[in-house]
Amino acid sequence: MKAAVLVFPGINRERDMARTLRLVSGREPSMVWHADKELPGGTDLVVIPGGFSYGDYLRCGAIAARSPIMDAVRAHATKGGLVLGVCNGFQILCEAGLLPGVLMRNENLRFICRDVYLRVERSDTPFTRGYNAGQVVRVPVAHGEGNYIADGETIAKLEGEGHVLFRYSSPDGMIDPNWNHNGAINAIAGIVNEQGNVLGMMPHPENHVEAAIGPTDGRGLFAGLVEALDRAA
Amino acid sequence: MNRNEHRITPELVAEHGLKPDEYDRILRLIGREPSLTELGIFSAMWNEHCSYKSSKVHLRTLPTKSPWVIQGPGENAGVIDIGDGLACVFKMESHNHPSYIEPYQGAATGVGGILRDVFTMGARPIACLNALSFGAPAHPKTRHLVSGVVAGIGGYGNSFGVPTVGGSVRFHQRYDGNCLVNAMAVGIARKDQIFYAAASGVGMPIVYLGSKTGRDGIHGASMASAEFGDDSEGKRPTVQVGDPFSEKLLLEACLEIMQKDCVIAIQDMGAAGLTCSAVEMGAKGDLGVTLDLDKVPCREESMSAYEMMLSESQERMLMVLKPEKEKEAEEIFRKWGLDFAVVGETTPTKRFVVRHGGDVMADLPIKELGDQAPEYKRPFVNAAKPEEIRAESVHAPVGTLEALEKLLEAPDLCSKRWVWEQYDHVILGNTVQRPGGDAAVVRVEGGPKGLALATDVTPRYCEADPVEGGKQAVAECWRNITAVGAKPLAITDNLNFGNPERPEIMGQFVGCVRGIAEACKALDFPVVSGNVSLYNETNGCAILPTPSIGGVGLIDDFKKSATLAFKRTGETILLVGETTGWLGQSLYLREVCGREEGAPPPVDLAEERENGDFVRAVILDGIATAAHDISDGGLLVAIAEMAMASSIGAELSAAPSDIPSHAHWFGEDQARYVITVPAERAEAVLARARAVSVPVWTIGKTGGDALTLAGERPILVTILRKRFESWLPTYMAGEL
């Protein structure tokens, strides 16, 4: 795995992400400044971490989506390269047009930080191969605008073609409004694009990877990516 | 000199918060009438908030030294040695007045200010905490203030990217007209790379960094040095506006130029902005400072010297740079998109000179402005000590379980989940113990060390007996850090009181400081930083005396830290410390009996130390499986909290015959803990306690899904949790 972590001004989970990539893959990721125009040679995974790029002023992710480095990310994705956007990264991917839909204010209009349960919908993707379909994982969320929505046609397509990879659920995997903290449509927590190589998700798997600190359910996502990429290499 | 664009009238002097004798002092000092800009500078430097003129003489009595203290009070933040070449940098500061006027921005900029204090010293912030006091829930403003303050703290900290890991929230009618927002920040620096405010060297460039200067927050510090009347709303323009995005950039840029060894001295622009930062750098370094305001980056047009000197625009820094590094430093700041301007230089004159538009707008002696500001020994009276309330004299109006349920849903005791879920408490990936426990535990990057962090104070104790209350605030903080297995190292104190010109308020202040000093000495828990907030009163009604204590402890291996949750069924529950059934000033007396009376529980500091050292030892030896300190609500509340954190219940033995049952369960005797140990090790622990003369009793065992008290019906843990969790969200939804 040769990961590149993008750093926009105001991004603040880049260290968490870099540490997790290092822990799971054993390799140091490159940190790529937003004003750069190219990804480091050989990059096989682009990660857009969480935070408040440009202060989330204007609209979450809107300014970052227009940064110079995003052209390189688009080119990488078009060639089938893997892209993972977490939290603000998901918002940036939506604003950049690499994923459909938009993230609105949480239903209760408050920022929410807590552990949530995610039901993994498919295990046959490079992002979820470390899990079983139907498995429930516990990871934290920390966002004020994670309420996913898109027009009816887009949702039908996402659902029909199996592009929803994670849904908020109860600890035993039931989809239930009481366990959907931000009010996302169909409890959608993470989706992939049509080609299946770009994932955006609101929760932070990178914060649940060390047993000494807490649960380790986030590890599967990164371990799966390492396996997928090392097999391809 | 373009002097006296305004005539300095007694009214103008009074509007600047300066007393006639203070103005006379200015006249004697400079031998002429000051210019308006100079008057503004004096008002900024000599107000209570910046000068500590009423409190200084008492603050000097606090213990501030120990082998692990690297920097005590007087700098931007305190610094302690945590080994491995690392230092922990921390401070707590109030933003009370602005938060009452504009809760979101007031609280947000409070967090911003304290974060800046920490990274100014070269530390990367790793955690925030806070201590919040609001008016009675029934007061029409309370909900609005809670909502705004919590959103503001979250809004700033979450965006800046530091976890908010702990704190405390309380409600009392005495805060109806003045809420308290005390924010604490903790950072880690390399011990050999700490940066200070004192300038050195003549002719060194003084550089302005960060955001541009606007007209916000003018007179903020003076506003925070006066009591409120009915017109507090009209003071909104004195509140600053926060921009956590700029602050995050400022953090990264500052740490980068510090690493490149560009910095001689650095001071953040907080209260009284450019004035206070420039004067402090010069005064501390025994140097003069000349500022050229034409070079100051402004975001508004035609700002006057007066406005620029008093603006409290946020996210700004002042630095003295090594001249040869100026270009390198500028490049770094430009990369982060921040302003960088050389706005002055150090001089050998010990004068503070401000030029603007070709004129000298101020020319003042810098030492007198800074560390030689007026100092008062204000008269004080000690309030009469309230009488002790004997447990036998307190009739129990309801049964034990009913009282427990009532306490768990009392605003001061109930779960604060609604608050801390709005704070990102997991960012940076080092939060070992999240909010809701005795102390938060945060891994020091790389491990295995961890820091234990807590904020504490019991204002109703301080009101009833300032000395005991001051001791108790320190002791409880020490206990909370101990209860997770850490060694308490040092504190920051944030002293919130009413108008010090009233002798009874000054008496509270003096008493609390005395209590804090006694406890810090006895517990080897020095004060390394702090802040004083006076004049927290409205129309003559003062807040409860609230000396918030923020403590830092160290645990060598964070994996050994204890949590309060019961771990397994069938374990023995032990009570550490003497129980007399002290009901005076207890929450039981207030919430269940409707009485706020009596003397608070006395604090025996030797006992605190012995009991705490014992508890810490059994935690670190891996024998205690859970630990919790006993404070508000007493023994039964502590046990209920341990059960609710785990869903495991407990069977408890009856109260001893010599104490009334409700006093046994709800009394607030100090120096106590509840711990659990595996049943087969209980005897050995009891023997070990006897050997060091620490009183320990077996009071029950864990198991089942209910709390079962001898002679009472069992009560399900799920029912307790429902009580505990529902009050705050229901209240905030407007349904109470």
pLDDT of A231: 80
Q: Which tokens sit at A133?
A: 């379909």
**A201 touches A90 (CB < 8 A):** yes
pLDDT of B236: 60
Q: Do B248 and A113 touch (CB under 8 A)?
A: no
pLDDT of B409: 97
| H or E element that contains B281 | helix B273-284
Inform me whether the C-beta atom of residue A206 falls under 8 Å from chain B C-beta atoms.
yes
Alpha carbons B403 and B399: distance in angstroms, whole number: 6
Report how far apart, in Å, the C-alpha atoms of B539 and of each of B145, B570, B665 are: 19, 56, 40
pLDDT of B5: 65
pLDDT of B250: 93
Contacts of A110 in chain B (CB under 8 A): 151, 421-422
- % of chain B at pLDDT higher than 90: 87
Dihedral of CA atoms B707, B709, B711, B717 in degrees, nearest 10, equals: -10
pLDDT of B736: 76
Which tens digits make up the pLDDT trace of B693-727? 999 999 999 999 999 999 899 999 999 999 999 99
pLDDT of B239: 74
Residues of B annotated as catalytic (active site), given as ranges: 49, 95
| H or E element that contains B142 | helix B142-160
Alpha carbons B326 and B324: distance in angstroms, whole number: 6
Which tens digits make up the pLDDT trace of A157-197? 999 999 999 999 999 999 999 999 999 999 999 999 999 99
Alpha carbons B450 and B84: distance in angstroms, whole number: 12
Report how far apart, in Å, the C-alpha atoms of B602 and of each of A115, A203, B385, B612, B670 are: 40, 48, 12, 16, 7
Nearest neighbour of B422 by CB, restricted to A15, A19, A110:
A110
**B93 touches B494 (CB < 8 A):** yes
Inform me whether the C-beta atom of residue B432 falls under 8 Å from chain A C-beta atoms.
yes
Contacts of A52 in chain B (CB under 8 A): 158-159, 161, 244-245, 248
* Nearest chain A residue to B423, by CA: A113
Report how far apart, in Å, the C-alpha atoms of B260 and of each of A15, B334, B534 are: 21, 15, 40
- Cα-based angle B695, B482, B580 (whole degrees, multiple of 5): 35
Helix axes B20-30, B36-46, angle to 10 degrees: 120
Distant-in-sequence, close-in-space partners of B480: CB < 8 Å, separation ≥ 6: B438, B439, B452, B454, B456, B551, B629
What is the complex's ipTM, to 2 decimals? 0.96
Inform me whether the C-beta atom of residue B134 falls under 8 Å from chain A C-beta atoms.
no
pLDDT of B373: 80
DSSP per position, B454-485? EEE--HHHHHH-HHHHHHHHHHHHHHHHHHTT
Per-window interface: A 4-33 vs B, CB < 8 A: 9-10, 12-13, 15-16, 19-20
Q: Do B429 and A19 touch (CB under 8 A)?
A: yes
Closest CA to A142 of A116, A161, A160: A116
Alpha carbons B54 and B377: distance in angstroms, whole number: 7
Closest CA to B549 of B634, B614, B631: B631
Distant-in-sequence, close-in-space partners of A71: CB < 8 Å, separation ≥ 6: A37
Nearest neighbour of B154 by CB, restricted to A57, A111, A212:
A111
Contacts of B154 in chain A (CB under 8 A): 111
B89 CA to centre of own chain: 14
Inform me whether the C-beta atom of residue A212 falls under 8 Å from chain B C-beta atoms.
yes
Inform me whether the C-beta atom of residue B423 falls under 8 Å from chain A C-beta atoms.
yes
Q: Which positions of chain B have pLDDT values less than 50?
A: 1-2
Please name the amino acid found at residue A37: K
CB atoms inside a 10 Å sphere around CB B489? 23
pLDDT of A58: 86
Does residue B545 have a cis peptide bond before it, meaning omega lies within 30 degrees of 0? no
pLDDT of B470: 98
Inform me whether the C-beta atom of residue A207 falls under 8 Å from chain B C-beta atoms.
yes
First vs last C-alpha separation in chain B: 62
- Cα-based angle B11, B12, B16 (whole degrees, multiple of 5): 115
**B149 touches B175 (CB < 8 A):** no
Inform me whether the C-beta atom of residue A213 falls under 8 Å from chain B C-beta atoms.
yes
> Tens of pLDDT along chain A (233 residues)?
999 999 999 999 999 999 999 999 999 999 999 999 999 999 999 999 999 999 998 899 999 999 999 999 999 999 999 999 999 999 999 999 999 999 999 999 999 999 999 999 999 999 999 999 999 999 999 999 999 999 999 999 999 999 999 999 999 999 999 999 999 999 999 999 999 999 999 999 999 999 999 999 999 999 999 999 988 76
Closest CA to B546 of B48, B61, B166, B96: B96
Report how far apart, in Å, the C-alpha atoms of B626 and of each of A96, B437, B484, B719 are: 49, 11, 9, 22
Contacts of A19 in chain B (CB under 8 A): 429
Closest CA to A108 of A181, A169, A52, A184: A181
* Nearest chain A residue to B153, by CA: A111
Inform me whether the C-beta atom of residue B429 falls under 8 Å from chain A C-beta atoms.
yes
- Cα-based angle B350, B353, B358 (whole degrees, multiple of 5): 150
* Nearest chain B residue to A108, by CA: B733
Helix axes B326-335, B244-259, angle to 10 degrees: 150
Q: Do A12 and B161 touch (CB under 8 A)?
A: yes
